[in-house]
Structure 1
Amino acid sequence: MMTQEPLPAIYPRPYTPNHRLSVGVPQFSNVFAEQIKHDKLPRPTYDRTKRIRFLPPFLALILRSTYFLVALCIVLVIPVLQLVFGIVYRDQCPINVYIPIYLIVTGACGIAAIGLTIVIVIAFVCCIKQDSIAGSCISGCVIGAVVFFIFIMSFFLFGWFIAGNVWVFGAKTTVNFEKENSPYYCHKTLYEFAFWIIIVTYILMVVSCCVSCCRACFQSLTTLKA
């Protein structure tokens, strides 16, 4: 009769914190590496559109608009006419020689302001399309410098506009359009153009103030309803 040998005693394997089960379960690191290798994981997308944080959203929207450039080109007609009328009739207003000079300076500053605004729009568009931080910083510096220059020039234009009011409206009661040899003579086209340009400027100022007030009221009502 054969006797069975006793089986060796099986002791449980001691548990250690660094012990990991590897039988039948793939290692997480290997799966992760395999998925990256085959491009199965979603990759973060990089938005190339650069946004200027220091500009209000509505201003950024205006600067990116093509219609804004078209409007600037249309408005450019007014300072060009001022410059042309002032140069053509420069010596034909002895009642006040500063009236044609007023038109010349106003027209030149208006052309410069609109031209600088176009530079701002171009720099803004370039800043959006830049893929580098250096390009965006350069475009931002150009925008800041041009805005500062326009801001300084606006103070001069404000004072120059007041002076133009004094010169044009001060000659309203004594101006003569018929006698060219009279010391009170001024060319009719020159004087009426300067006069109505000032009137139109006042009208635009009132309209812009009304639009701004209506916009502020609309935003306040929208905020209260929300």
Structure 2
Amino acid sequence: MDVRPQSAVLIATLVVVNFIWWMVMIAAIGVGATHLSQCPVQPNIPIYLIVLGATSIISLSFTYNIRANKESAINIVSSACMTILHIFNFAWLIAGTCWVYNIYPPNYTGTDLYCHKITYQFAFVVTTLMWVTMTFLFICGCCFGLLTCCTTMVVRRHLIPTRNSFYGATSDLGEQAAGDV
């Protein structure tokens, strides 16, 4: 088992982000369940919030289970379930985006024709924040990949042998020529 020390700032950040995510998803379930029949213009929005919250909480539970059981068959089952949940959550986010953004801008004056204000605003904010977060993570991942490729190319250039060096030498040609004199 690989036990690496982690910084206190990283651990504290992860705890705070996890706590906030749990609270938002519990609130999504609560808001969706409370106002289940109060969105006649798009009755799927409260259902979207309930399912999004429930599947996110279950996915987080699988994540904690994977971290606790690193060397067991439960880890494989949890990983498979978590992967399926992530794919479902992404598809559900796309469906929820269509439902939430299709009735934008909302009109709250006619309560019988439009969505409950808190329900719609909560769904709108959560959906928008999820897309912003995924875009930010995608950009960071691309930058990390580009940085890794550039670093690999620079290191590779220093490891390619020349006719004046042996394979795997890391010194430059100029240093070797100075050493030969």
- Give the alignment's TM-score, normalised by structure 1: 0.60
Q: In the alignment, which of 78, 89, 103 is matched to residue 157 of structure 1? A: 89
* CA gap 1:61/1:104 in 2 versus in 1, 3 angstroms: farther
Per-residue CA shift, 1:66-121, capped at 9, x if unaligned? 44751333322221121111112212211111110100000000110111111111
Does structure 2 retain, via aligned residues, the 8 Å contact 1:69–1:118?
A: no
Task: Give the 3-state SS of the residue equivalent to 2:69 in structure 1.
Answer: helix
Are positions 1:104 and 2:50 aligned together? yes
Are positions 1:82 and 2:28 aligned together? yes
Amino acid at match of 1:98: N
CA distance, structure 2, for counterparts of residue 84 and residue 97 of structure 1 = 16
Equivalent runs, 1:9-28 vs 2, <5 Å:
none
Q: In the alignment, which of 115, 120, 136 is matched to residue 186 of structure 1? A: 115
CA distance, structure 2, for counterparts of residue 194 and residue 61 of structure 1 = 38
Q: CA RMSD in A?
A: 2.3
* Structure 1: gaps spanning 5 or more residues: 1-49, 53-59, 125-135
CA distance, structure 2, for counterparts of residue 100 and residue 68 of structure 1 = 30
- Give the alignment's TM-score, normalised by structure 2: 0.74
Amino acid at match of 1:107: G
* Structure 2: gaps spanning 5 or more residues: 156-181
CA distance, structure 1, for counterparts of residue 5 and residue 144 of structure 2 = 16
Equivalent runs, 1:123-134 vs 2, <5 Å:
123-124=69-70
Amino acid at match of 2:86: S
Q: In the alignment, which of 68, 73, 79 is matched to residue 147 of structure 1? A: 79
Amino acid at match of 1:177: Y
Does structure 1 retain, via aligned residues, the 8 Å contact 2:56–2:89?
A: no
Larger radius of gyration: 1
Identity fraction in percent: 28
After TM superposition, which residue ranges in structure 1, 4 or more long, deviate above 6 angstroms?
none
Are positions 1:120 and 2:66 aligned together? yes
